[in-house]
Amino acid sequence: MKSEDKINLDNAGISLDSRIFFEAVQQSSVAISITDNKANILYANKSFKQITGYEPQDVIGKNESLLSDKTTPRIVYETLWGRLSQKKSWSGILVNRRKDETRYLAELTIAPVLNDDGNIIHYLGMHRDVTEIHRLRQEAINQQAMVESVVDSTPVVTVVLNNKGEVIFSNQAYKTLKADMVDKEPADLLLGALDETVNELFSHASTKGRLFRDMEISFDPGGKGFLRWFSCSGSWFRSRDSSADNFFEARKDPYLLLVANEITGQKRHLEEIRMNALRAIMAEDDLIHNTRETLSGAVYKLQEPLNMIAAALEVAKRRTTGEDHLLTCLQDALQAGQKAMSSLQASMPEDSSELKIYVNTNQLIREVLELETNNLLSKGIVVDWNPESVLPNIFGQESRLRNMLKQLLKNSIDAVSVKGHKKREIKITSKQESSKFISIIIEDSGIGIPEKLKTKVFEPFFSTKTTNSLNTGMGLSIVQSTVNEHDGFFSLENKPAGGCVATLRFPVAKFQVT
């Protein structure tokens, strides 16, 4: 081809010197070869020599297969020739061998060249050495696999989240936790339980390098399981956006590496110790409480005959002018009774004073249920508790509130344990009604309260239990008193389908403590 020859580019409507095309191919950084339709090499450019080590005169007239290392699977060549036979190009990677016998990876594209009749007359081959690219890529894959293997083998929950809280990477421990949660995303529960300031940093521009350590959190998987505790640590980092849009103007998005070590076992052990101590304290409180109730009942019962004696004494005084043995007896009886009452009042243990604190009502319900577990199991009672996962605190006396809930639960247990009553179910719901109030609803499947006694059950020393019961009839009176002391609301109603529903409503504390 002479330099003055022209090549018409019909599609572009222009023509160029054929020499320009020749030099473009000759100087290309890609190894280019042209073969006949039998793959015998007719032409090879300069880069062909640089990549393969073969001079053009070494390969002209020889078959392209001289580059093959023979380690490329046969199926690859079958696919290659299958595509070419269909007059279509093929691209892929082959293992080739240089003139010096060293192997390299060739990223190859072969295209058939057709004549005017549509028959293959030549093949155009273009390839480049991608050995180093493959090595670096494989090293990155191996390093990622090694890191993932190490992270997967650790029993600590590990997860990477983007700034939207979406899971980008998670290890096997996280996947196991997710399987336990069924339809909930553990990351949402973990982030929801972490301090608000931690979550605020998520979208902050200067999160790089920020971290937190050993933050203990807990969440309830829905009331069907036990409370789970985790010790969480995390750090933020920024990763460059890999999209083409940000190639020149790098944008780095924030990510959170969150590590959560489950400490539920340790917490449950400590909780068991605490509950045993709480049982001892409540047993002592119950003893004091029962003693006060018994003595209060005795004083209450004693007051009535003393009042009658005092009235009779006043009548006797008005009717008697001289010495009267009956009058003397009445005076002695009144003095003895008053002395006995004073002794009873003096022997009554003092009601311990308690400061008000921020109280988690869900925790109190959990404690009361645990304290009554054996009682519930022995009587075959099913308890369905539906707590709101995050419930605001109330401000009050923790022991008084716990005792109030225990009293209501015991009433429900007694109601469903009546002889011959088959349906033994108690449902407890704790939720936030509004920004100002929370409510606790305790429903039972018992026999309900007779209509004529709906008001009387709140009176001190009145009980619907049998006369030989140890109950002193102060339960609902104490509940009402406790509710009043905490500016709350209490109602007790029969359900249309049978049973009772007790509703407690308390104001949310103005300041919340997490």
| Domains of the chain, each with CATH number or no CATH | 6-134 (3.30.450.20), 154-262 (3.30.450), 269-347 (no CATH), 357-507 (3.30.565.10)
pLDDT of residue 472: 45
Q: Give dist(CA 475, CA 406) in Å, integer.
A: 10
Q: Give dist(CA 36, CA 124) in Å, integer.
A: 9
Could you tell me which of 503, 452, 444, 500 has the C-alpha nearest to residue 479?
503
Residue that the structure tokens 């606790």 belong to: 440
pLDDT of residue 370: 87
Q: Where are the alpha helices (DSSP H) in 37-185?
A: 46-52, 56-59, 74-85, 131-153, 172-181
Q: Give dist(CA 368, CA 475) in Å, integer.
A: 16
Cβ atoms of 413 and 295 closer than 8 Å: no
Cβ atoms of 389 and 354 closer than 8 Å: no
CB < 8 Å & 24+ apart, contacts of 374-380: 375/413, 376/413, 376/426, 379/413, 379/416, 379/417, 379/424, 380/424
Cβ atoms of 236 and 253 closer than 8 Å: no
Q: Give dist(CA 88, CA 86) in Å, integer.
A: 5
pLDDT of residue 114: 94
Residues 6+ apart with CB under 8 A from 77: none
**First-to-last C-alpha distance (Å) of the chain:** 86
pLDDT of residue 428: 94
Give the bridge partners for 490, in sequence order: 504
pLDDT of residue 457: 56
Q: What is the pLDDT along the chain (514 residues), one digit of tens a residue?
A: 444 555 555 555 556 677 888 888 889 999 999 999 999 999 999 999 999 999 989 999 999 999 998 889 999 999 999 999 999 999 999 999 999 999 999 999 999 999 989 999 999 999 999 999 999 999 989 988 888 888 888 889 999 988 888 898 899 999 988 888 777 888 888 888 886 556 655 555 445 556 788 888 887 765 456 778 899 998 888 877 777 777 777 677 788 899 999 998 898 888 788 878 887 877 777 677 667 667 777 777 777 788 888 887 787 777 776 666 777 887 888 888 888 878 777 777 766 667 889 999 998 998 899 888 888 998 899 999 999 878 899 999 888 898 889 889 988 898 888 877 778 999 999 999 888 999 999 999 887 776 665 555 556 545 555 444 444 444 577 788 889 999 999 988 888 878 889 999 999 988 766 5
**Sheet with 167-170: strands ordered across:** 167-170, 157-162, 252-262, 228-240, 211-219
